[in-house]
A and B are shown apart, each in its own frame.
Chain A
Amino acid sequence: MNLILFMALVTLFLSATFVGFYLWAVSSEQFEDLDTPAYRILKDDNKKGKRE
């Protein structure tokens, strides 16, 4: 029984952590743009040009 309660508390702690992450993500406006980051990872980091 104690183990189940312990697990329940761990679950609660985990979910509280994730809620915390979620609140942080909302506050830092990470849900403002859901499309561009997916394209951004395809970018070649080495390619740098110069303006003529």
Chain B
Amino acid sequence: MLAQWSTLNKSPFDTQKKVNPKWKQFSQPEIENQYCLSSDKAEKKFRFYLEGLQCSSCIHLVEELPGFEKEIIEARLNFAKGILTLRVKPTFLLGTACEMIEQLGYQPTPLKKESDLEILRNEEKLQDLKRIGVAGAIAGNLMLFSVPDYAGLAGTLKLNFQWLSFLIFLPLLIYVAQPFYRKSWVEIKQRRLSVDLMIVVALWAGFVFSSLSLMNDYGEIYFDSTASFIFLILLARYFLRTQQNRLLQTDIFSDIFKGEVFEVVEKHRAHFVLLDKVKKDDHLRLLRQQVLPCDGFLESEVCAFDLSFLTGESYPQIKHLGDKVLAGSRVLSADAILKAEASAAESHLATALRKISLNEENQNTIKNQSDLWSQYLTMIVFSLAALFFILTYQKLGNVEAFSRCLALITIACPCAIAFGTPLAFSLALRKAARNGFYIRSSSVFERLNRITKIAFDKTGTLTSSKLTLVKSEPAVLDDEVKSLILGLEKNSFHPVALSLKDIWAVTPIRCMPFVKEVVGQGVETFIEQENYKLSKDSTETDDGLLQVVFTVNDGLVAKLFFSETVQPEARGVIESCLAEKQSVMMLSGDRKSRAISVAAKVGIPVEETFFELTAEEKRKFIRENNPCLYVGDGLNDLLALKEAYASFAIKGSFESTLQVSDIYAPGKNLNAILEILALSKQVKKTVNGNLMFSVIYNILGGGLALFGLVNPLVAAVLMPISSVLMIGHTVWRLR
């Protein structure tokens, strides 16, 4: 279409294209208001995220919008970010804009007004950029003015240049260094030492020393090196903050419902609201495939929901009038009416997600520890510098002793610990979240590196919850029976039904009206006084197979035997774990014969297979075998998951699983274990690499500084370079 427009100059709008009907709701004032960035009498402003932008021609096409629609005043596209900003006349509606964009061939997502936090973060970024610019200009000019000095200039001209340097340095001291003062002050009030305090001391020591030197004509001045030091530190921090902000911008809950509108049914009318406007006692009408935004009670007679996001079980569940349905459930029936129990933010899902919110616990455990280490290092450096000055000032003279101390304070930096470690964990968390893992605390990466054993649960973890038809009685079923059974199971979502529909996919389905499903029992119908019934057989034999009987007027026609299947990837995963020299075990509540047969299939040694264990026994077993990683599902393994040194849940109820399990990966298979183990190894390598570098750098740099082999000028350049190297190394390793 794009090519067509470019060559033939035809309208680029695909008017035949069916646009999403939901855009109509975006024209309603109460919804539009939430997306309108600025509104006055003359114009409104909207922002959209566009999917489908491919090349520079897209910019021209999208920015041509005012040419096609007079109500659009201006269209500006940020190609790198994929964000389109539209300035339109007040009469132009948001819904129309969305439809037009969709007709152009792009998928728009209207963007809401920025939150206060985002505005603040943006403002902070602008301030940082300004400070970096000013610091860079000051450092550059100071260097230029220092060149004649280094080249051996003397006399009045030298003094003039030095005074000029002094003047240029002042904005740095007053304006650029403000964030360091603020942070140090906060830390001092909390009686803590911080990296910022070191920077402030180095800055002021450099300034005071240089100023005194200038007034008393001692010779050495360090304005240029101190300014470069501050400039490079600011650059390193800006880079670090950009990385962290990217991480903090993830809001999983809002992402699930991005751009969704919900229909609220009232007595006389229905209106549409956004996620945050859904409130208690609202009657919501959800369409097929829509996800429930809040916890609620079903007001329709019966409805099927896909709870896979919440439980990890992929087959649908039937709910009846008055049943509670949790946020995150997807409607599978035609539509459903529910009464909201509370707002979306108060739902179980939102609460659970908040707990793993990256702003909270995730950052703190490791950060506190690294803060502590960087405080120790700061303390050591200050004490060493003071001691050195006291011991050597008589021998070396005040100026030289002070100069060496200044070099030491400048060069020694706890950056690896203060920046490198938290950044490594933050990046690892982001990488994990991007790959579908929900992680409760970043400390799990540390713990995963300490485990020596991996214990697997059997049912639902090593084996699939999907059933396999093993045999039937009679051994060969004729097509008539199969089509009758399929007719009964046509609308059922029970695992038996899903398995049969899968196995007999080519068999025609008999039309069976008025089929009644009794949850946990089976399905039945009456056709011309004949009773057709498919139900669970209560007289199960001891071979561990699930039996289902098909009867007509209570006369047995066929018996079906099902077994669980071992996950196809299980064997490979266990082999990889064994190759990593981990001891692998299987814990099962099942009978001995079944447990051993599954263990043999996946390659777990018989002596490491434990069976007929109750939940409590599993817990005890795990406790005795810690540090161990327990891999289970969140449905019946909560106790064991909680007890384990590190725990991994493949599936389970979202809320309860997240409360006890360190890692939760709904929708992923067992290979996820290898993935997360590899990631934690990568984190360890990165952190160790940073620490090793830091130790060598600090001992070497500090030593050289104290022996007078590195002057404050070189120290000021080396220190920020070390920070940049450290951050670069971390980002490169965990990219």
The residues of A with any CB-CB pair to B shorter than 8 Å are 1, 4-5, 8, 11-12, 15, 18-19, 22-23, 26-27, 29, 31-36, 39-40, 42-44, 47-52
Answer whether A36 and B80 are a contact pair too, CB < 8 Å, given A4-B157, A15-B141: yes
Q: Which of B271-313 contact A (CB under 8 A)?
A: none
The residues of B with any CB-CB pair to A shorter than 8 Å are 5, 9-13, 15, 56, 59-60, 63-64, 67-69, 76-81, 126, 129-130, 133-134, 137, 140-141, 144-145, 156-157, 160-161, 164, 168
A19 touching B133, Cβ below 8 Å: yes
Find chain B residues with CB under 8 A from A47 CB.
9, 64
B60 touching A43, Cβ below 8 Å: yes
With both beta carbons as reference points, the residue of chain A lying nearest to B57 in the complex is identified as: A39
Find chain A residues with CB under 8 A from B78 CB.
32-33, 35-36
- Residue of A15, A18, A32, A42 touching B56 (CB-CB under 8 A): A42
A36 touching B59, Cβ below 8 Å: yes
Report the tally of A-B residue pairs with Cβ distances under 8 A: 84
The 10 closest A-B pairs by CB, nearest first: A51-B68, A39-B56, A52-B11, A33-B78, A36-B79, A35-B80, A48-B67, A22-B133, A19-B137, A26-B129
- Residue of B12, B79, B129, B137 touching A49 (CB-CB under 8 A): B12
With both beta carbons as reference points, the residue of chain A lying nearest to B70 in the complex is identified as: A51
Find chain B residues with CB under 8 A from A40 CB.
59, 63
- CB A46 to nearest CB in B, in angstroms, measures 11
A1 touching B156, Cβ below 8 Å: yes
CA distance A3 to B673 in the complex (A): 72
Q: Which of A1, A31, A32 has the most CB of B within 10 A?
A: A32
With both beta carbons as reference points, the residue of chain A lying nearest to B9 in the complex is identified as: A49
CA distance A50 to B69 in the complex (A): 8
With both beta carbons as reference points, the residue of chain A lying nearest to B103 in the complex is identified as: A51
- Residue of B59, B81, B134, B144 touching A19 (CB-CB under 8 A): B134
Find chain A residues with CB under 8 A from B9 CB.
47, 49
- CB A24 to nearest CB in B, in angstroms, measures 10
Q: Which of A4, A50, A51 has the most CB of B within 10 A?
A: A51
CA distance A49 to B10 in the complex (A): 8
Answer whether A31 and B63 are a contact pair too, CB < 8 Å, given A39-B56, A52-B13: no
With both beta carbons as reference points, the residue of chain A lying nearest to B61 in the complex is identified as: A49
A12 touching B59, Cβ below 8 Å: no
CA distance A36 to B545 in the complex (A): 63
- Residue of B67, B79, B137, B160 touching A15 (CB-CB under 8 A): B137
Find chain A residues with CB under 8 A from B168 CB.
12
With both beta carbons as reference points, the residue of chain B lying nearest to A18 in the complex is identified as: B137
With both beta carbons as reference points, the residue of chain A lying nearest to B67 in the complex is identified as: A48
CA distance A33 to B76 in the complex (A): 11
B141 touching A11, Cβ below 8 Å: yes
- CB B134 to nearest CB in A, in angstroms, measures 6
CA distance A14 to B327 in the complex (A): 61
A23 touching B59, Cβ below 8 Å: no
- CB A28 to nearest CB in B, in angstroms, measures 10
What are 21 residue pairs bridging A and B, where the CB atoms are less than 8 Å apart in the complex? A1-B156, A5-B160, A15-B140, A19-B133, A19-B134, A19-B137, A26-B126, A27-B130, A33-B80, A34-B80, A42-B60, A44-B60, A47-B9, A49-B5, A49-B9, A49-B10, A49-B12, A49-B67, A49-B68, A51-B13, A52-B15
